[in-house]
Structure 1
Amino acid sequence: MFRGITQLCLDSKSRFAVPAKYREELLSSCAGNLVITADPSRCLLIYPQPSWEPIEKKLNSLSSFNPQSRSLQRLIVGNACDVEMDSAGRVLVVAPLRQFASLVKDIVLVGQGEKFELWDAEKWNQEIEAALVYKDGNMPPELEGFSL
């Protein structure tokens, strides 16, 4: 399980260092083989390759005749990029994905269970501010009765 937030920086070669607390798990579960793809929220999703495969299979099984499904396939599967952690635990973020998520230097890696989200730091802060709208009791119906 990946959880927590880590503030990172892209280096001059557009790589980021995976936090040490995740490296061993990623090396043992997938030999450091990851898939990075685009998310509709304009962040990037990073999956260990074994976790990605059933998602890709499910997305590819959606009807290509449904315009919304086809758009989602194009976005998520079409932008999927296989990457490998190097010996120093660094991961390269390719230019098209960096541009999609507006990643320049300051980034945030957010654990989301079986995957990570990779955000531009400023966009992440805006996401957190937007999430605070629930403080006034404007909870979505599916969260009514939910307690932390």
Structure 2
Amino acid sequence: MLLGTYTPKLDEKGRIILPAKFRDEFEGGVVMTRGQERCVYVFSETEFETFADGIRRVPVGSKQGRDFLRLLLSGAQSEQPDRQNRMTIPQSLRSYAGLDRDLVVIGAGNRAEIWDAQAWDAYVTANEEDFSNTAEEVIPGLF
């Protein structure tokens, strides 16, 4: 399970160094794609296959499902971390997420998410109150 918050820098070639705690999970390669809220989702190859299998079950008659599938899969790209544990974020995904030099990488269970540092700070600030107010009726069985 991917957990935690890390603050790597994006180098001039569009690469980041993977957080040490994520390296075992991603050593076989990653799939990066558009994430919701303008971040980049990073899955292990295996986890992405599982995730994509679930999405492919959405009925073709569902416009919302088709739209989600198209945007998610059309933005997906495979990447293999190099020997220094660096991973290149494709330019299209850097543009989509507004990534600049300062990044935040979070563990989100089955995936990592890469955020522009300012966008992450704004997201946390905007959602802290809702997080504090999340109750049993929102996520049954949580508390």
TM-score by length of 2: 0.89
Tell me the CA shift for residue 97 of structure 1.
0.7
- Corresponding position of 2:4: 4
* Contact 1:103–1:119 (CA under 8 A) maintained in structure 2: yes
Counting strand residues as a fraction of each chain, which structure ranks higher? 1
Count of residues in correspondence between the two structures: 143
Residues of 2 paired with 1:114 and 1:137: CA distance?
24
Root-mean-square deviation (CA, aligned residues, Å) is 2.0
- Corresponding position of 1:116: 112
Cα 1:4/1:66, change in 2 over 3 Å = same
Q: Give structure 2 stretches of 5+ with no counterpart.
A: none
Cα 1:80/1:140, change in 2 over 3 Å = farther
Residues of 2 paired with 1:135 and 1:18: CA distance?
27
- Corresponding position of 2:92: 96
Runs of 4+ in structure 1 deviating by more than 6 angstroms, as ranges, are none
Q: Give structure 1 stretches of 5+ with no counterpart.
A: none
- Corresponding position of 1:59: 55
Tell me the CA shift for residue 93 of structure 1.
0.5
Pick from 61, 67, 73: which aligns with 1:71? 67
% identical equivalent positions: 27
| More off after superposition, 117-126 vs 55-64 | 55-64
Cα 1:58/1:145, change in 2 over 3 Å = closer
